[in-house]
A and B are shown apart, each in its own frame.
Chain A
């Protein structure tokens, strides 16, 4: 996949370089390792192999295997070790291959990383960054494809990020490392080959706010991560029929930037929330509830949700595609909010 929708403008500035989401992440690691000797990366196959998604390719050669460190297949141990190293003054980045495997480390993430500051009455901060792949669409079946970032967004004490653009892939890591508390970064597996341009120097990115990716006055489409491209595609479909959709990229799944969501709703009076995760108990449910709780009098139609089907993701391509939100379905939901029909 080489979608190019993230390209900021038709005429890139002379200093802009063509790159990919994967390379943008790698550059962010390079910068962090250079800037702060306390930063190190660890995870399965990050060093010799170069990272299972090639994000850290070449970094071990450049920074040494002390700082780009292969771990055994021990998600719980190395994630917990990241917590310990953070407690003792380091700034670890822990890479977990995919969110399905992160469940083996969930105990450490929830019961230690997210909780220590509070349990210790403010004494023990955990400045740890955990990165992992999420999402489906690559025919990897149920144990490699789920979108569980919403579960992590449920947990107080964590900051949860979902870069969907090259700018965010390049710019979120450093502020995440500067955060005194644990930050989780979710990279949708289909985004790594995403191509586009990045200005040099890259723009600064904040890790507190949602971003408006496309302005419009008729309906607000809320998306994040791997769902953003499909949502922009849906906005294109809608534009062709005269419906101007505003696309809000959540970017920060916790804490939610309610203000940006409510401002957009106040403008458009209609909202569709897109989430690849299952509908029941999802992040989409949370966003939808917030819009209803705080934006009720701005709403001209019920909030719509376009989510993943409530099924473990199947292998067969046609079933998998049917299980995931698609631009057509997003556009149809938007039409219902505007016209009262699909």
Chain B
């Protein structure tokens, strides 16, 4: 992992300070979630993206408001970067009525239709075929929106991947396939899961443009994502981005993390996207220490307010248990 070493002008032109702030916001939010999980305020499965923030922030900042995001169960970062209000995400974690999924979904099932944020899908690869269909609808209607479909490298062993990649390429659909390659599918390492570990080459074999980038460098992610979305939006068909990243924490709160050695985790921590970009910005004098301190304070406040609101929020009434099973109002 090489140092970033971007120059000042480039950092500012790319809006690096804003990206850094977003990454810190995602990191602090998830750290709070760990605390709240231990305090049994949050239950069920909790999958954190700590270490992978550059992917969420770099990719999502490259999308337009009309674009769609189809995500996985490791989606807190994607949701926050997409602009889903933190308070509604937090309330969902608490299972409260004010949560973005009205307490039905929890950590793994965040949705926000207004912001075109579609999951929150906890079936590995489950979001891929629908993302192809969303892109198909856009193509059929002559819209220039892009559907960004995010998944882990483990998902690329599923039939859903092969079928979706083929269909999207065959019909030249505007899908941006984003592989967050964090090297492990639960406890199974990349090479124990894939016969061909060059995921970019595999994606290219379907007849789509495929790139890989350093997923620990938010600027590299953003640059690759911007190029890719431009290509997809321009009618170039689907595009595949492999972002090489790492999760610093276990797969979920239940995972004893026995399958990888601590030295490996420490090696990856050395390329933590947050301190890397921070030191670059400071060195280039594109940021002052005091600004970071201000952000930290603001973020802490935002999180505290979200937690407080979630604590105070009402539970969904039990009488409403069967709401949202079918649509309300007359059949269309």
Residues of A within 8 A of B (CB): 44-45, 48-50, 52, 70, 72-77, 100-101, 104, 138-144, 309-312, 314-319, 322-323
Contact = CB atoms under 8 A, between A and B. Distances in A.
A45 B188 CA distance: 6
A315 B104 contact: yes
A139 B44 contact: yes
Nearest to A140: B44
Interface in B136-174: 154-155, 157-160
A138 B186 CA distance: 19
B315 A72 contact: no
B95 A315 contact: yes
B320 to A, nearest CB: 8
18 contacts: A44-B188, A45-B188, A48-B192, A49-B186, A72-B194, A73-B124, A74-B157, A74-B159, A104-B160, A141-B105, A141-B122, A143-B123, A144-B122, A311-B321, A314-B103, A314-B321, A315-B101, A316-B95
A73 B155 contact: yes
Contact of B43 (A77, A101, A104, A139): A139
A316 B103 contact: yes
A50 B259 CA distance: 9
Q: Interface on chain B toward A: helix, strand, loop, or mixed SS?
A: loop
Contact of B123 (A76, A101, A315, A318): A101
A309 B188 CA distance: 36
B179 interface: no
Contacts of A100: 123
Interface in B282-332: 315-316, 318, 321-322, 325
A316 B315 contact: yes
Contact of B322 (A44, A72, A73, A309): A309
Contacts of B101: 315
Can you list the 7 inter-chain pairs with the closest CB atoms, starting with the nearest? A49-B187, A316-B95, A315-B106, A72-B157, A316-B103, A139-B44, A143-B122
A319 B258 contact: no
A277 to B, nearest CB: 15
B98 to A, nearest CB: 12
Contact of A142 (B43, B104, B193): B104
A51 to B, nearest CB: 10
Nearest to B125: A73
Interface in B176-210: 185-188, 192-194
A319 B104 contact: yes
A318 B122 CA distance: 21
Given A309-B322, A319-B318, A141 B109 contact: yes
Given A48-B192, A72-B154, A72-B188, 7 more contacts: A45-B187, A48-B187, A49-B188, A74-B157, A143-B121, A310-B322, A315-B105
B151 to A, nearest CB: 10
B325 A316 contact: no
Contacts of B316: 316, 319
Nearest to B95: A316
B186 A45 contact: yes
A70 B157 contact: no
Contacts of A310: 322, 325
Contacts of B192: 48, 70
A319 B103 contact: yes
Contacts of A309: 321-322
Given A45-B188, A143-B123, A318 B315 contact: yes
Given A70-B192, A74-B159, A48 B104 contact: no
A289 to B, nearest CB: 25
Contacts of A142: 104, 109
Contacts of A140: 44-45, 106, 108
Interface string B93-120: 0011000010111101100000000000
B61 to A, nearest CB: 28
A138 B106 CA distance: 12
B186 A44 contact: yes
A75 B109 CA distance: 22
Contacts of B126: 143
Contact of A141 (B106, B160, B258, B259): B106
A323 B321 contact: yes
Nearest to A78: B157
B154 A73 contact: yes
Nearest to B97: A316
Contacts of A50: 187, 258
B155 to A, nearest CB: 6
Contacts of B154: 72-73
A140 to B, nearest CB: 5
A141 B185 contact: no
Contacts of B95: 139, 315-319
A317 B318 CA distance: 11
Contact of A72 (B108, B122, B193): B193
Contacts of B160: 104
